Structure 1
Amino acid sequence: MLLNATTAISTSTILLVPYSKRHVLKYHEWMKDEEIQQATASEPLTLEEEYSMQQSWRQDADKLTFIACLPLSSSTSSSETVALSDQDDAPDRMIGDTNLFLRLDDDDDNDNDNDDDNNDEEEKSVIGELELMIAETRNQGKGYGRAALLTFLWYVVTHEREILDEFLRSTATNSNKRLKCLSVKIGKDNTRSLALFESLGFEKRASETNYFGEFELRRYGLDVDAVGRLADVYGLKGYREVQYNE
């Protein structure tokens, strides 16, 4: 997606930057790990294919991606103008990624109990599927996943209309559709991720897993105020969008 091509997001506990060419080599090393391949349902790619994939993700209007990095120095005041350096998202500061994949909803069941009966179903026809990865074991269990997810959600709900507009222009679909919900699919044995998403209000659609052994969880009605309250609960502070130059 082009929307975030020049935007990084800084908070007290994480830095998100657009997935750029400089990140591909480290990302490629991550994706050689069989556990990561299994967790992300990914096939190993050659380095050349990985560079092509990075360009595809940048151009494709149905994919929004950030690389998660260690946070900026805590000495930076929230009132200061931040200028990122090449070192802020250097390979040794990269820890994972966050993704949003958009699709038109062809599921005609009305599974949102909070919807009014007279709501126009035509307006609830885009679903955003989330993915989150903290790649290396040494960085897991330290709160980076929650920080990256909350920061990413904050960006998504802040820019929901712009995200949808870029996506819908690519589908030749009318532009009055809105985001029905956010969704995530998690393997039944990934108890840490299940607990993370459930702590942010995502709920399982069914008590049984799908054919692939995954639970699908969904979150409806997420807006800036709701994300702000969650950020307060979990100590995420200082959200700000920063100019990013490749």
Structure 2
Amino acid sequence: MLRRSLLISAFAASLAFAIPAQAAPVKTLKIGVTAGTHAEILRAALPIAKKNGLDIKVIEFQDYVSPNEALAHGDLDANIFQTLSYLKLMNKQHNYGLAPVGKSITEPLTFYSKKYTNLSQLPTGAKIGIPNDPSTEGRSLFVLEQAGLIKLKAGVGREGSPLDVISNPKKLKFVELDPAQTLRSLDDLDAVAVNGNYAYISGLTKTRKGILVEKPGPEYVNYIVVREKDKNAAWVKTLVKSYQDPSVRAFVNKSYKGSVIANF
């Protein structure tokens, strides 16, 4: 009987070793990004995410409105493209119920010109293109104020519009443009504020120096964003960890050489 029991135990043990442990289930995610730097950086994080059990489908957008609408409606699980100030504004205006869960990158806003190589060369009455989305418009005007070209109403900060300009010695004329159209206006205007992702997609960052570059600050860090109800989910923590991996930071530093800043 003892020998039989030993044989049964040995057989059971051999079965235990023969049957492979069941792999953890893979979580499939749809993540929205704007084309360009955000898409490239997320793709650099895919191998890490795969090792951590996430199968990520990258969904690219050409504008700033659609990624939040898609996330709020459940067509995406997360998006990565926006600053905290823009997210707060969109939540307030549309009641999206979206929450930031991790930092990504900063892309300094830059004024470009095909006519002038220096800010001091801008003539009186120069036509200046600025993005017309509320967050970036105020950001553009704030950069101009910091450069001493205009003065905004007290307390406006980075949320102003051309109506808030109270001093404009050079009589600059502001042309409000869809952010995606700013590049196309370079031939027609004296200078244009271009968001970092659009400047990169067009190759502008490699071919032309800006005449005015924003000083990067914490206000313009971009975030990984999910629906409020998902913010404490286990997969969200895994997503943030995968994106903020040291290898992804190294990719950013090597690929963009300071024009994009990793904030993690």
Do both proteins adopt the same fold according to a TM-score greater than 0.5, normalized to the shorter chain? no
Structure number with larger C-alpha Rg: 2
- Structure with the higher fraction of residues in helix conformation: 2
TM-score (norm 2): 0.27
TM-score (norm 1): 0.29
